[in-house]
Chains A and B, each alone.
Chain A
Amino acid sequence: MHPFAYRRPASLAEAAAAWRAEDDPRWLAGGQSLLGVLKLRLGAPTALIDVARLPELAGIRREAGALVVGAACTHAEIAASATDIPALAALAGGIGDLQVRNMGTLGGALANNDPAGDHAAAALGLGAEIRTDRRRIAADAFFTGLFETALEPGELIVAVAYPLCRRAGYAKVRNPASGYPVAGVFIAEAADGPRVAVTGAGPCPFRLPDFERALAAAFASTAVDRLTVAAAGLNRDLHATPEYRAHLIGVLARRALAAAGAPP
């Protein structure tokens, strides 16, 4: 790692001031992705601003119709405490491994937007609202490309509000070495209809409108078991071809429905 300065502001206001005072800063939350980037010298920020202990980013609470999760909550905290949305708790409990879940945070995962990130599937699948220090961004407008989001330079995720849903489920196929999803599908029966979100398969998480229409007619596996996904545009790497990922999405959609308790 190249040398960098380290700052740990005590409040959101101090954090914004610390950002403005540095040449090329990065937010540091759990560091489970960022430290790997720094070790490989893929990034060389002049300063890390540690937001993991900011009180404004802590805790999980209920609001009317939504579960609001602080951006600095670790995956382990969400797995243990997001009981109002069991599919979200289960997803968080399946990220990485035990040690990573104890450090890695929700805000860090969403801001990084790794193409194989688990949290993106839940945020998009539940129609979450990403709350920053500047504004509120709908999940549908948040994930803009490979490792790209709608966040502006220095904009910090404070919390994520997940609308409560009737039922939801998540299923993925993990790469056995890295643990990252080769593909993952999150399906929710939300207040305004079914939502189906895919991670790991494309450059960026995306929804499946034809699956959603079919599930609106009947929230059951049989509604989607004849649907197919086009391979064009899906990821090709040493682990899987686009065609294999397209096939997996159909399989995982049925597993996610089963996890949601939908009839077969």
Chain B
Amino acid sequence: MRITLEVNGRPIAAEVEPRTLLSAFLREHMGLTGTHVGCDTGQCGACTVHLDGRAVKSCMVLAVQADGRRVTTIEGIAGADGGLHPMQAAFRRRHALQCGFCTPGMVMTALDLAATLADADDGAVRAGLAGTLCRCTGYRPIVEAVKDAVAAREAG
């Protein structure tokens, strides 16, 4: 089936099988391997991308469901000059990663969360990140990074 969609701001047309997952399409057809596949069962959140600006698990979305829509991956959030997105910068500053496998999904989840979060307390941030698992269990600096990013947004 032919699909057309926008990936990281670029218009894309592609031929896919209806059963192709969005995660597989991004990694194997587009070569965007920043989107990681951890569990492939919708539990770990490593494959989180944005669909029309909202975080979704790309292993639980068919590529055909993204037809006509806008997809943003971890490769698409850096500034035009290649500089880190403020959320990425907050993760780096707080050392909010160990092995790094969950980091792309964690950052994409955090961006959605930070955009909608009214009050960036620990409980709200942890609840918001519940769908994205860090197998190193390094949640504390991740929570701090998200709180920093929300605070910076409010200051800005």
| Residues of A near any B CB (own CB < 8 A) | 1-6, 8, 28, 31-32, 35-36, 38-39, 48, 50, 52, 76, 80, 96-100, 102-103, 179
Given A3-B17, A6-B1, A76-B54, the answer on whether A99 and B45 have CB atoms closer than 8 Å is yes
- A102 and B55 in contact (CB under 8 A), knowing A6-B1, A31-B61? yes
Contacts A31-B61, A48-B62 given; 6 further ones with Cβ under 8 A? A4-B19, A31-B62, A36-B41, A36-B60, A52-B65, A98-B113
- A contact patch SS: mixed
Q: Is B64 an interface residue (CB 8 A)?
A: yes
B130 within 8 A of A: yes
A99–B56 CB distance below 8 A: yes
- Cβ contacts under 8 Å, B141 to chain A: none
What are 17 of the A-B contact pairs (CB < 8 Å)? Answer: A2-B19, A3-B19, A4-B18, A6-B62, A31-B60, A31-B65, A32-B42, A35-B42, A36-B42, A39-B40, A50-B65, A98-B109, A98-B113, A99-B56, A99-B60, A100-B60, A102-B55
A41 to B54, CA, bound (A): 28
Residues of chain B with a CB closer than 8 A to A80's CB: 116
Q: Which residues of chain B are within 8 angstroms of A98 by Cβ–Cβ distance? A: 55, 109, 112-113, 128-131
For the complex, what is the distance from the CA of A97 to the CA of B44, rounded to whole Å? Answer: 11
Q: Which residues of chain A have C-beta atoms less than 8 A from B130's C-beta?
A: 97-98, 179
Residues of chain A within 8 A (CB-CB) of B116 are 80
User: With A32-B42, A39-B41, A50-B65 as given contacts, are A1 and B60 in contact (CB-CB < 8 Å)?
Assistant: no
B56 touches A102 (CB 8 A): yes
Instruction: Mark each residue of chain B from 109 to 122: 1 if its CB lies under 8 Å from any CB of chain A, else 0.
Output: 10011001000000
Q: Is B67 an interface residue (CB 8 A)?
A: yes
